[in-house]
């Protein structure tokens, strides 16, 4: 008898939120497709909202999802549930049967079940849906967000590779590196204390006047020409709340028409605009949007959202619980960074030491353009750990204003040419990122970042190469010539090695022309024992190895 796929067995974490540092996406996809093929009577794809509406188990799945949302958002519910599941669920108005869902919320119960125990079908269906959503996100990251222009594509790939050691494997898996975000307001009316991108106070909106509509369409057309099909993955908010703009839906319909898909919406004020939000969800789904998001700021907001929207209306809308009673804390970036409320929240979640503060924080998810239509401004950005210099968790490589669509498009082209080199330039400084700890084991340079290490092996005189890249006082061209002079190693080979390190995102590309001095050598203490190496030549010189 064929063995039962893991996906149909008991979950390993509460509400089946997989806890891992890396996902095996291929295996996950193969397993999911295999289950769909093998059990067509029990499961069907649910990720696309329009066909999912016809599914015989949409209501059941929505009820399970809603149960999980209450569990994540409400500490009192989490504490009360185990004592009297049936009555507590009833008291909270939850339709799903808490006993049937026990394997999702009671890990001890799970542990007592034999390894081949299969949870009820509602749990299996929920697990399938969670997998579909994870794979949908991965599809965005690895396929749909990939720009057509080779410069942008290579630059984005390099930023993704950098993320592995700069932000850690979880962010590497989780950040989609969308190609653009457009703000259609200036500022945000909500004013969350934890705003990860430090939104300023709302000042004005980009309304859909005839003149603005013309400019808007020119901007979208320029982005679509620059990005190709990846333009479908852009969205229309950043340090703004979409619902602040009364014409948001009209702007999004243009995005659907020009870029190819209605953009994903995240809003923190659905409770103020219930009917509008219901229409927006339906409109977005009907025009190809898969998942939207609602942020809830307080438990009262959460209750209001639960009352105002049916579970089925929110089947493809994630609830991001930002309230103090939620099961997780906010990202350590923007206004949250250093905030007393964040520390209190961490303590309330049992995070007693300060380890959580050391985790690189960002909520930024764009490696591309951040456009503000009110200011007629376009910046080139990419995620980084929030810091004093980059408090909002993204680098700004360029920042310009435009008067019209033609100038906007010219800026895109110029920024790609200027910042998105596909290979290291000879005039570029050759130095490791300052956050990396560099060591050499005799064959290989190890560049250890947050939770992952980039390894480089190959060529002769690797130790000397590591020393030079730690010192960082030469350009790539100077280093290549120097190594030819000193060791007889061809400049082309050195450039080839440098390019592989460059493509791994391990060389320092942090923008420095915005008032910051160039960093000193990355190693503060002599934490860079670069030993004499045995000559090694291995053309496949690079790989990454997470080791959390
Ligand atoms: S988190 Fe979102 S809703 Fe809150 S202030 Fe920032 S942009 Fe506005």
Ligand 1 atom closest to Cα of residue 297: 4
> Looking at the whole model, is its pTM more than 0.85?
yes
Average pLDDT, the chain: 89
- The alpha-carbon radius of gyration of the chain (Å, integer) is 25
Q: Which residues contact 456 (CB under 8 A, 6 or more apart)?
A: 444, 445, 447, 462, 497, 500, 501, 504, 506, 541, 542
In the structure, what pLDDT confidence band is assigned to residue 348 with cuts at 50, 70 and 90?
confident
What's the 385 CA to ligand 1 centre distance in angstroms? 19
pLDDT confidence of residue 2? 59
What's the 300 CA to ligand 1 centre distance in angstroms? 18
What's the 99 CA to ligand 1 centre distance in angstroms? 37
pLDDT confidence of residue 20? 60
What's the 413 CA to ligand 1 centre distance in angstroms? 31
pLDDT over 70 (residue 420): yes
pLDDT tens, residue by residue, 36-87: 999 999 999 999 999 999 999 999 999 999 999 999 999 999 999 999 999 9
378 and 371 in contact (C-beta within 8 Å)? yes
In the structure, what pLDDT confidence band is assigned to residue 267 with cuts at 50, 70 and 90?
very high
Angle at 117 between CA 112 and CA 118, to 5 degrees: 130
Highest mean pLDDT of the ranges 243-247, 452-456, 539-543: 243-247
CA–CA separation, 163 and 383 (whole Å): 8
Contacts of the segment 67-72: beta carbons below 8 A, 24+ positions apart: 67/94, 67/96, 67/98, 67/101, 67/104, 68/15, 68/104, 68/126, 69/302, 69/306, 69/319, 69/321, 70/94, 70/306, 71/14, 71/15, 71/105, 71/327, 72/15, 72/319, 72/321, 72/326, 72/327, 72/328
pLDDT over 60 (residue 242): yes
pLDDT tens, residue by residue, 500-540: 999 999 999 999 865 444 454 444 332 222 222 222 222 22
241 Cβ closer than 6 Å to some ligand 1 atom: yes
What's the 330 CA to ligand 1 centre distance in angstroms? 12
190 Cβ closer than 6 Å to some ligand 1 atom: yes
120 Cβ closer than 6 Å to some ligand 1 atom: no
* Residue 85 CA from chain centroid, whole number: 35
pLDDT confidence of residue 170? 84
Range of weakest confidence among 80-84, 147-151, 373-377, 516-520: 516-520
Choose which residue among 181, 195, 301, 321 to substitute to test ligand 1 binding: the one with the highest number of ligand atoms within 8 A of its C-beta: 195
Please give the biggest Cα pair distance in the chain. 80
Highest mean pLDDT of the ranges 192-196, 357-361, 366-370, 436-440: 366-370
Q: To the nearest whole percent, how much of the chain has pLDDT over 90?
A: 76
pLDDT confidence of residue 436? 95
pLDDT confidence of residue 457? 80
Q: Which residues contact 13 (CB under 8 A, 6 or more apart)?
A: 19, 107
pLDDT tens, residue by residue, 270-302: 999 999 999 999 999 999 999 999 999 999 999
CA–CA separation, 407 and 385 (whole Å): 32
Span 220-229, average pLDDT: 98
Span 263-269, average pLDDT: 97
Q: Which two tokens stand for residue 536?
A: 């090694």
What's the 188 CA to ligand 1 centre distance in angstroms? 6
pLDDT confidence of residue 203? 97
Choose which residue among 196, 198, 199 to substitute to test ligand 1 binding: the one with the highest number of ligand atoms within 8 A of its C-beta: 199
pLDDT over 90 (residue 120): yes
Nearest to 362 by CA among 379, 328, 385: 385
257 and 263 in contact (C-beta within 8 Å)? no
In the structure, what pLDDT confidence band is assigned to residue 35 with cuts at 50, 70 and 90?
very high
268 Cβ closer than 6 Å to some ligand 1 atom: yes
What's the 242 CA to ligand 1 centre distance in angstroms? 10
Span 139-161, average pLDDT: 97
pLDDT over 60 (residue 445): yes
Q: Which two tokens stand for residue 468?
A: 């030079």
16 Cβ closer than 6 Å to some ligand 1 atom: no
DSSP states of 425-464? -TTSB--B-TTPEEEE-SSEEEEE-SSEEEEEE-SS-HHH
CA–CA separation, 438 and 445 (whole Å): 7
Give me the architecture of the 149-419 domain, per CATH: Alpha-Beta Barrel (3.20)
pLDDT confidence of residue 523? 40
pLDDT confidence of residue 276? 98
Q: To the nearest whole percent, how much of the chain has pLDDT over 70?
A: 91
Q: Which two tokens stand for residue 299?
A: 């438990």
pLDDT tens, residue by residue, 163-172: 999 998 888 8
pLDDT tens, residue by residue, 180-192: 999 999 999 999 9
Span 307-335, average pLDDT: 92
Span 227-253, average pLDDT: 98
Q: Where are the domains of the chain?
A: 6-134, 149-419, 437-546
**Residue reference for tokens 């949302």:** 69
DSSP states of 147-160? -SSHHHHHHHHHHH
Ligand 1 atom closest to Cα of residue 240: 7
Nearest residue by C-alpha to atom 6 in ligand 1? 195
pLDDT over 80 (residue 133): yes
Nearest residue by C-alpha to atom 1 in ligand 1? 195
235 and 264 in contact (C-beta within 8 Å)? yes
pLDDT confidence of residue 285? 97
Strand 204-205 relative to strand 317-321, pairing: unpaired
Nearest to 498 by CA among 442, 421, 441, 385: 421
pLDDT over 70 (residue 328): yes
CA–CA separation, 309 and 294 (whole Å): 11
pLDDT confidence of residue 131? 94
CA–CA separation, 227 and 420 (whole Å): 14
């Amino acid at each position: 008898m064929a063995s039962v796929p893991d996906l149909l067995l008991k979950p390993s974490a509460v509400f089946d939120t997989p806890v891992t540092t890396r996902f095996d996406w291929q295996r996950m996809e193969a397993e999911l497709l295999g289950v769909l093929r093998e059990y067509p009577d029990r499961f069907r794809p649910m990720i696309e909202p329009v066909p999912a509406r016809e599914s015989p188990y949409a209501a059941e799945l929505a009820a399970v999802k809603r149960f999980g949302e209450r569990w994540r958002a409400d500490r009192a519910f989490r504490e009360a549930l185990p004592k009297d599941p049936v009555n507590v669920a009833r008291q909270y108005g939850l339709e799903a049967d808490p006993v049937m869902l026990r394997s999702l919320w009671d890990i001890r119960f799970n542990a007592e079940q034999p390894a081949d125990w299969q949870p009820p079908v509602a749990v299996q269906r929920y697990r399938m849906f969670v997998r579909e959503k994870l794979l949908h996100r991965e599809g965005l990251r690895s396929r749909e967000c990939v720009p057509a222009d080779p410069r942008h594509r290579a630059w984005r790939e390099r930023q993704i590779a950098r993320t592995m050691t700069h932000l850690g494997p979880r962010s590497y898996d989780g950040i989609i590196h969308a190609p653009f975000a457009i703000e259609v307001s200036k500022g945000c009316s909500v004013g969350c204390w934890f705003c990860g991108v430090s939104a300023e106070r709302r000042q004005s909106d980009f309304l859909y006047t005839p003149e603005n509509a013309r400019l808007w369409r020119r901007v979208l057309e320029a982005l679509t020409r620059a990005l190709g099909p990846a333009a479908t993955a852009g969205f229309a908010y950043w340090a703004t709340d979409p619902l602040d703009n009364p014409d948001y839906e009209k702007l999004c319909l243009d995005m659907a028409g020009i870029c190819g898909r209605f953009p994903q919406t995240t809003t923190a004020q659905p409770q103020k605009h219930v009917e509008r939000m219901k229409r927006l969800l339906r409109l977005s789904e009907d025009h190809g949007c898969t998942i939207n998001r609602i942020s809830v700021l307080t438990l009262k907001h959460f209750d209001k959202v639960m009352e105002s929207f049916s579970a089925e209306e929110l089947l493809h809308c994630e609830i991001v619980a930002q309230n103090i009673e939620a099961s997780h804390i906010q990202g350590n970036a923007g206004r949250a960074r250093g905030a007393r409320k964040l520390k209190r929240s961490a303590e309330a979640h049992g995070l007693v030491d300060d380890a959580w503060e050391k985790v690189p924080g960002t909520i930024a998810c764009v490696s591309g353009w951040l456009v503000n239509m009110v200011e007629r401004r376009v910046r080139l950005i990419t995620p980084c750990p929030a810091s004093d210099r980059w408090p909002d968790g993204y680098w700004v490589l360029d920042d310009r204003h435009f008067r019209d669509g033609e100038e906007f498009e010219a800026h895109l082209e110029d920024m790609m040419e200027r910042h998105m080199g596909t290979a290291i330039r000879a005039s570029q400084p050759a130095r490791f990122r300052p956050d990396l700890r560099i060591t050499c084991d005799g064959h290989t340079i190890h560049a250890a970042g947050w939770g992952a290490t980039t390894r480089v092996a190959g060529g002769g005189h690797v130790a000397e190469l590591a020393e030079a890249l730690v010192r960082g006082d030469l350009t790539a061209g100077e280093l290549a010539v120097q190594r030819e002079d000193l060791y007889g190693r061809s400049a082309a080979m050195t450039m080839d090695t440098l390019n592989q390190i460059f493509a791994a995102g391990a060389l320092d590309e942090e923008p420095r022309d915005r008032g910051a001095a160039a960093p000193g050598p990355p190693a503060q203490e002599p934490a860079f024992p670069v030993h004499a190496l045995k000559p090694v030549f291995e053309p496949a010189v690079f790989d990454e190895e997470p080791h959390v």
